[in-house]
Amino acid sequence: MPFRPPSQHAVTPQGQGRFPGFDVLDQAHVWDAATAGVVLARLTLPNALSFFTTDEAGVAEPMLDLLLGQDGEPRVPVLALIDQRLSVGETDGWHYDDLPEDGQAWRATLAHLNEDAQAHHGTKYAELSRRRQGLLLQDVQDLAAAGDPWHRLPAKHVWSLWMRYATTAFYSHPWAWNEVGFGGPAYPRGYLNPGVNARETWEVADHLNDDPIPFAARVEQARRAHDDIAGRSASG
Nearest to 144 by CA among 153, 134, 135, 133: 153
pLDDT in tens, 162-179: 999 999 999 999 999 999
In a domain, 84, yes or no: yes
In a domain, 62, yes or no: yes
In a domain, 233, yes or no: no
In a domain, 229, yes or no: no
Residue 197 is predicted with a pLDDT of 77
In a domain, 49, yes or no: yes
In a domain, 192, yes or no: yes
In a domain, 5, yes or no: no
Q: Which domain holds residue 64?
A: 14-209
H or E element that contains 150: strand 149-150
**Band of pLDDT at residue 215, cut at 50, 70 and 90:** low
* Mean pLDDT in residue range 107-126: 98
End-to-end CA distance of the chain: 62
C-alpha 46/C-alpha 210 separation (Å) is 38
Phi, psi angle pair for 197, to nearest 5°: 65, 10
* Mean pLDDT in residue range 25-37: 92
Q: Which residues contact 153 (CB under 8 A, 6 or more apart)?
A: 98, 99, 108, 109, 112
Q: Which residues contact 62 (CB under 8 A, 6 or more apart)?
A: 125, 126, 130, 133
With a pLDDT cut of 70, the percent of the chain lying above it is 90
Residue 212 is predicted with a pLDDT of 61
pLDDT in tens, 57-116: 999 999 999 999 999 999 999 999 999 999 999 999 999 999 999 999 999 999 999 999
In a domain, 201, yes or no: yes
Domains held by the chain: number: 1
* Mean pLDDT in residue range 41-52: 94
